[in-house]
Amino acid sequence: MSRFSNFTYYIRCNNLDLIEQIFTRILEQEGSRRIPLPILPKNDIEKLRDQPWILCNELWIIGLFVGSLGWTIVKIVPEELLCHRAKDADRPRLSELAMHINSDTFYIGCNGGSILMEVDAWFS
């Protein structure tokens, strides 16, 4: 039996530089810091391809991709990072992002069950 899974954020903004800056600012306010791609031995890279979640507690990976019609596609490990609130925050990180870039966003996550999180920039 085949099992479908997908974890993707969509942002109605095609300015990847702006989105990257806001992501960085939001996460740095929580005490995280941005690093360049880590240099890993070949066997660790192959292991990460099969099990990307093994570094989730220590390393968050964010990829931005140009979509169509002015949308940006975002893939993140751990998948639901932006659906959660930072400590002492009153809204999820995805809402913070939408407010900072003044744009709509949504997240589709499914793996057996499903979750859809949609954020309107004006009513977050």
Q: What residues pair up with 64 in beta bridges, in sequence order?
A: 74
Q: Does position 9 have pLDDT exceeding 80, yes or no? A: yes
Q: Does position 120 have pLDDT exceeding 60, yes or no? A: yes
Question: Which domain range does residue 88 map to?
Answer: 5-119
For the entire predicted model, the pTM comes to 0.75
Residue where the block lists tokens 């996550």: 109
Q: Does position 37 have pLDDT exceeding 80, yes or no? A: no
User: Is 114 a member of any domain?
Assistant: yes
**Contact assessment for residue 74 and residue 62, using Cβ atoms and an 8 Å cutoff:** yes
User: Is 16 a member of any domain?
Assistant: yes
Q: pLDDT (tens digit, 9 = 90+) per residue, 101-110?
A: 999 998 888 8
Number of domains in the chain: 1
User: Is 124 a member of any domain?
Assistant: no
User: Is 14 a member of any domain?
Assistant: yes
Mean model confidence pLDDT for the chain: 81
Closest CA to 94 of 4, 8, 1, 33: 8
Q: Which residues contact 98 (CB under 8 A, 6 or more apart)?
A: 11, 104, 105, 119, 120, 121, 124
Average pLDDT over residues 44-72: 75
pLDDT of residue 98: 92
User: Is 86 a member of any domain?
Assistant: yes
